[in-house]
Each structure stands twice: as C-alpha cells, then as structure tokens.
Amino acid sequence: MAVFTRSAFLGLALVLSALAGTANAQLSPNFYSTSCPKLAGIVRSGMASAVQKEKRMGASILRLFFHDCFVNGCDGSILLDDSSTITGEKNAGPNANSARGFEVIDAIKTQVEASCKATVSCADILALAARDGVNLLGGPTWNVPLGRKDSRTASQSAANSNLPGPGSSLATLISMFGNKNLSPQDMTALSGAHTIGRSQCQFFRNRIYTETNINASFATLRQGTCPRSGGDSNLAPFDVRTADGFDNAYYQNLVEQRGLLHSDQELFNGGSQDALVRQYSNTPSRFSADFATAMVKMGNLLPTSGTQEIRLNCRKPN
C-alpha cells in the first residue's frame, strides 16, 4: 500500500475525491508518522484512562465507530452536535439515549491538538480509540489505516435507515452489511463486538418473554431486571459469561441459545452462519483474526461526496 505524506495527500485531495469509491487507497497506518508521531500513544493513554474508570466505555467507543462508519462512511459525523444548520445523528433512533463516550473522544482530541494542532481528524481518533478499547479489554489489536477527514455535516435520516436494529433477521443483517461491501463472515465477526457492552431492556424484552429459541434459565435471569412493562432503560450485559472481557464467549452463548438480542440469536438459529458461529465458539484465535480483518475493512468505508476537513472541535464544523 502506498504511503502518502500529509502534503502529498493534500495535493492529491481533488483527484482522490473523484475516486471516492476506492478512496481507501489514501489510508495508511503511517499517515501521521511524521506530522503527529505521538498520536498512537496519546489515544492509547486516553482510552486506558477511560476504560479504567468504566470498562463499559470500551464497548461504547467501539459502537460509536460502527455507527459512524455505517452512515456515509467513517467521517466523524456521529460526533457532531445538533445546531441551527445541522440535524445530527446523535438523536437518530439507533443513537438517542444510547450512544455515549463523546466526552472521551473530546478529551483525547484536546490532547492530540496540544501535540499537533489541526493535523489529526476526529474520524481517525475514533478509529484508533475503538481499536484500543477492544485491546484493553483483552481483545486483538491491529494496524489502523489512517488519513480520514471529517465531514462538515451529518445525516439523521441515514442513521435511521442504515443501522441494523435489535430485531433484525439474519437476512436483513446480511443485506445491510452487504450494502457496505461487508460479507456475511464480516457481519458475523463484527457482531462479536457484543462480547462486551450492555443493552437496554426495551431492546431485548420481546426476546426474553416471547421467543422460544432461548435458554429458559437465561430468560429467567434477564427477566429479573427487565420487567414486562417499565424499566425500559435497565441494562444487561450482552455476554452473560464475561461481560467486560473481549473474547469468544459471545459465540458460546449463541450456541447455548443465550443471545441477548433477537439479532444476536439469528446468527445461530438453523441458518447460514451456524457453522461459522460454532467455529468462533471453539477457536478464539479465528474469531480474533476475522474480527480484526473486518474492522479494518469497515474502517475503509469513506464518504463518496461532501466537503471534508480536519475538525478542531469534534462536535462542530470549523
């Protein structure tokens, strides 16, 4: 993969914008090696502090990255606050009252700006932070291609239509990931992000009270904190085994019909992904490798239009 200096990249910006469909050619893990050599250490330190305070934050930042990339590419659009000119993505259905961790990105951005002003995009900071959050919780690490720019706008409508919901069928999941050039294997591997994090009762209530492909004791356990009515925001861990450890237990849960969301259990319910789920449940190294590969692939999703910049404040355009 070619490595572009920052000046060369800026000089090629107009050409690359015309080649947006293959724009990942501009990304390189070494993009900031001379312009911001301390970047990786700053992001790692910021995430280590955040995860030490609250382990769940690793999952929250990972989710922000996923929700960013699936809406017009990995461009930091999810970080934008609403304003008189922007209807942001934070209040879209999949994000309202659930997307979190923005202040962690703000804090890291402040440190990055102090080290190398107006150089590193918020989109790249989020990509690095997601990787570090996974690794700090025991998951794999990988080289993050860098060189993204930040969008100057956001799309609440795209966030509402492009992000798969907790009630999604396997066919819907395969289709929605396929729309982003992510294979069924990529989808199943990326779903393993649910080996960490929490979900609100309102998103799994129907599964634990009405579905039959669920372990009875697991359903009873989850019903203990998720009543039939009320308690919509009560939290439960996705992974009943190791709630804050990034491992392959998510897939072991699915094999035992202990998937928390309907969309989780769809991956192991007599369909096309059953065999892969079994492989991941038995071979953690295979899951880790496939997850890292799929994260890089998802991270290569870039905007195909629109003006971009290096935002100085992740919450608003310059």
The span from the CA of 116 to the CA of 120, in Å, is 8
- 184 assigned ligand-binding residue: no
The span from the CA of 309 to the CA of 149, in Å, is 5
- 290 assigned ligand-binding residue: no
67, 94 contact by CB (below 8 A): yes
The span from the CA of 36 to the CA of 6, in Å, is 10
Catalytic machinery residues: 67
DSSP 312: S
- 264 assigned ligand-binding residue: no
Q: Give kind and range of the element (H or E) at residue 237.
A: strand 235-237
Task: Identify the three-state secondary structure at position 316.
Answer: strand
First to last CA, the chain: 31
Please, which residues bridge with residue 309 across strands?
150
The span from the CA of 155 to the CA of 171, in Å, is 25
- Indicate the pairing of strand 235-237 with strand 198-200: antiparallel
The span from the CA of 163 to the CA of 159, in Å, is 6
- 195 assigned ligand-binding residue: yes
Count of alpha carbons within 13 Å of 214, Cβ hemisphere only? 23
Tokens of 278: 């079994």
Q: What is the CA radius of gyration of the chain?
A: 19
- 247 assigned ligand-binding residue: yes
- 71 assigned ligand-binding residue: yes
- 225 assigned ligand-binding residue: no
Neighbours of 146 (CB within 10 A): 24
Q: Give kind and range of the element (H or E) at residue 199.
A: strand 198-200
Three-state SS annotation for 204-227: HHHHHHHCCCCCHHHHHHHHCCCC
- 35 assigned ligand-binding residue: no
Q: Please state the residue numbers annotated as binding site for substrate.
A: 164
Task: List residues forming the annotated binding site for Ca(2+).
Answer: 68, 71, 73, 75, 77, 89, 195, 239, 242, 247
Going by the annotation, the residues of the binding site are 68, 71, 73, 75, 77, 89, 164, 194-195, 239, 242, 247
The annotation places the binding site for heme b at 194
